[in-house]
Amino acid sequence: MRIVIAPDSFKECLSATRVAFAISEGIRKVAPDAEIISIPVADGGEGTVEALVTTTSGRIIPTPTVDALNRPIQSFYGVLGDGKTAVIEMAAASGIELLSPEERNPLVTSTYGTGLLLKSAMEAGFEEIILGIGGSATNDGGAGMAQSLGFKLLDKNDNPIGPGGGSLNQLTRIERANAHPLLQKTKITVACDVQNPLLGITGATRVYGPQKGASAEMIETLEQNMSVFANVILQEIGTNFSAIPGAGAAGGLGFGLMAFCMAKIRPGFELIGELTNLEKLISEADLVFTGEGRIDSQTAFGKTISGVAQLGKKNDVPVVALAGILSGNLEPLYCNGLTSAFAIANRPMSIEESKANAAELLARASEQVVRIMIRKL
């Protein structure tokens, strides 16, 4: 029996690699001779670096940067097994999980640290960079990232604008003379798991601002400021990136990467699936496990589980998903090819208890699934 394990991370709990290991432990109890192929997957958010480094036999490069409040931190980026491609996750610098709930304020949080990671990778000689942009604490349109790479974002008095989305309305012009010269030689591909534009009801601010600490009043301010920012970019660069799907990802960092770094946006799961040869592995499997911390009605739209399910359907392989929480209408996932989904809790328990015991619960759940499935394979 050949089983592929292709999960995303359980956010604030287990990395995709640890999720895959826990599932494999459960499988071994029932099918010790099974061929298990673990492919930790990510769609651009937290765990993207670990997933790609693990599956391509790459390495991690410790790198100093700053967090979303511009405080010095020790971070990292990865190098794929080819030795030529760097992979960065913005969550490792400008991520929401690096801030306490009380510190989350998109009026002041900045992507400056993400730009420093890009700068480090370019100066290390990597001319191809994959940047995952999930899990952000920011809503600055990539302004901080641009500033860290040498772009001068100036107000009407020719002073640099301040950090965060609260300062974007001060922008009147952009000076590009000191932009990092290696940007011209670097191919940056953005791994993104959402299709939101920059502005409007489905844009960066209105959809994702509240989860980053924005009040209703702040949402209005941030949206107005982002509109000013986008208009100045249009005047300065001559290209309108704001309506491109993914421009609104990570508080508009997708927009900023296209405008300042000539980056190309790709669906995170699709990109990572190609790099890990995931479809071929699934096509040769008898059973596939996937999973993430929460499966709900939005999971069918661009998330890892949906992508794995579609590959299973295409290749007529059953796909089982394990999650900490199941909620909402999962019918679109089943239509995409998911065979079944299970919450890992085996009795009533709090979210905190479930997180604390997630590895054990995953192992038990996968064991029970295989006890059922093994009779049919």
Q: Provide the token pair at 285.
A: 């499997």
Predicted confidence at residue 23, as pLDDT, reads 97
Q: Provide the token pair at 308.
A: 């794995």
Using the 8-state DSSP alphabet, how is residue 161 labeled? Answer: P
Predicted confidence at residue 38, as pLDDT, reads 94
Predicted confidence at residue 51, as pLDDT, reads 85
State how far the alpha carbon of 89 is from the alpha carbons of 46, 169, 182, 212, 291, in Å. 7, 27, 20, 18, 20
For 208-243, how does the pLDDT look when each residue is reduced to its tens digit (9 = 90+)?
999 999 999 999 999 999 999 999 999 988 888 999
Q: Buried (b) or exposed (e) across 161-171, using 16+ Cβ within 10 A?
A: bbbbbbbbbbb
The rounded Cα 340 to chain-centroid distance in angstroms is 24
Q: How far apart are CA 43 and CA 122, in angstroms?
A: 23
Q: Which residues on neighbouring strands pair with residue 343, listed in sequence order?
A: 323
* φ, ψ of residue 279 in degrees (nearest 5): -60, -40
**Beta carbons of 78 and 89 less than 8 angstroms apart:** no
Alpha-helical segments (H) within the chain: 16-30, 48-56, 91-94, 112-123, 143-148, 204-208, 216-237, 249-261, 268-276, 278-283, 304-314, 331-336, 351-356, 358-373
pLDDT at 197 over 70: yes
Q: How far apart are CA 55 and CA 368, in angstroms?
A: 27
pLDDT at 55 over 80: yes
Residues 6+ apart with CB under 8 A from 342: 320, 321, 322, 323, 326, 365, 369
pLDDT at 363 over 70: yes
For 245-269, how does the pLDDT look when each residue is reduced to its tens digit (9 = 90+)?
999 999 999 999 999 999 999 988 8
Predicted confidence at residue 299, as pLDDT, reads 84
Residue ranges and CATH numbers for the domains of the chain are 2-40+277-373 (3.40.50.10350), 48-269 (3.90.1510.10)
Asked whether the CA dihedral 111, 113, 114, 118 is positive or negative, the reply is positive
- pLDDT category, 46, cuts 50, 70, 90? confident
pLDDT averaged over every residue in the chain: 93
Q: How far apart are CA 96 and CA 257, in angstroms?
A: 19
pLDDT at 12 over 80: no
Predicted confidence at residue 27, as pLDDT, reads 97
Among candidates 322, 321, 281, 290, which has minimal Cα distance to 43? Answer: 290
**Beta carbons of 325 and 361 less than 8 angstroms apart:** no
pLDDT at 373 over 90: no
- pLDDT category, 44, cuts 50, 70, 90? confident
The more confidently predicted of residues 338 and 376 is 338
Predicted confidence at residue 130, as pLDDT, reads 97
Residues 6+ apart with CB under 8 A from 333: 295, 299, 300, 305, 306, 309, 321, 341
Q: How far apart are CA 45 and CA 61, in angstroms?
A: 18
Q: Which residues on neighbouring strands pair with residue 75, listed in sequence order?
A: 63
Predicted confidence at residue 376, as pLDDT, reads 61
Q: How far apart are CA 299 and CA 349, in angstroms?
A: 23
Q: How far apart are CA 279 and CA 311, in angstroms?
A: 6
Predicted confidence at residue 377, as pLDDT, reads 56
For 299-337, how does the pLDDT look when each residue is reduced to its tens digit (9 = 90+)?
877 688 999 999 999 999 999 999 999 998 899 999 999
What average pLDDT does the segment 77-97 reach?
96
Asked whether the CA dihedral 43, 48, 50, 56 is positive or negative, the reply is positive
